[in-house]
Amino acid sequence: MIELAPERDYFPGYAPGPTLAHEVSHSVYAAWTPDAGFEQGQQAFRTRSQQEQAESLSLRLYGPFHEATGPFVDYRLGDEELFAAVFTSRIIEPTAARRNAPQAVDRIEEIVTATVPTLFDKNNLDS
Ligand SMILES: [Zn+2]
């Protein structure tokens, strides 16, 4: 079940369309596994700039991260949730996504193309 809490409407990432895109991204991430022939233990974001850009899109879509210390790191900073944020931004605002986070967007396009090759076919700004 996907809960759409009204008080979260302030940030665009919690609207129904972006929430659907976010959930689709989890299917893509789940398909990017060793069982499907991909390398074990891969991280979507491998460079500091990719990571920082992914975090900036997450901030844009979902608002500030919760400050935490010790082992209680905000789950949104995990690789899969950052992947979801970049993927969602790439779907709902492709121009802004690329402007704000070019390397992070390139990286998720690489992963999406490898896992679900036709997904971005009709959503490609360059064609
Ligand atoms: Zn998620």
The angle, 0 to 180 degrees and rounded to 10, between the axes of the packed helices 16-31 and 79-92 is 130
pLDDT recorded at residue 5: 63
| Span from the CA of 25 to the centroid of ligand 1 (angstroms) | 8
Contact 79, 47 (CB under 8 A): no
- In the reported structure, the alpha carbon of residue 82 is separated from the centroid of ligand 1 by a whole-number distance in angstroms of 8
Rounded distance from Cα 126 to ligand 1 centre (Å):
28
Sign of CA dihedral 83, 84, 89, 91: positive
pLDDT tens-place string over residues 8-44: 568 899 999 999 999 999 999 999 988 878 888 889 9
* Interval between CA 39 and ligand 1 midpoint (Å): 22
Q: Are 45 and 51 in contact (CB under 8 A)?
A: yes
Hey, where are the domains in the chain? 9-40+48-119
Compute the distance between CA of residue 67 and CA of residue 71 in angstroms, rounded to an integer: 12
Assess whether pLDDT exceeds 50 at residue 122: yes
Q: How far is the CA of 78 from the centre of ligand 1 (A)?
A: 10
Identify the three-state secondary structure at position 73.
Answer: coil
Cα-to-centroid distance, 13 and ligand 1 (Å) = 11
Model confidence, pTM: 0.85
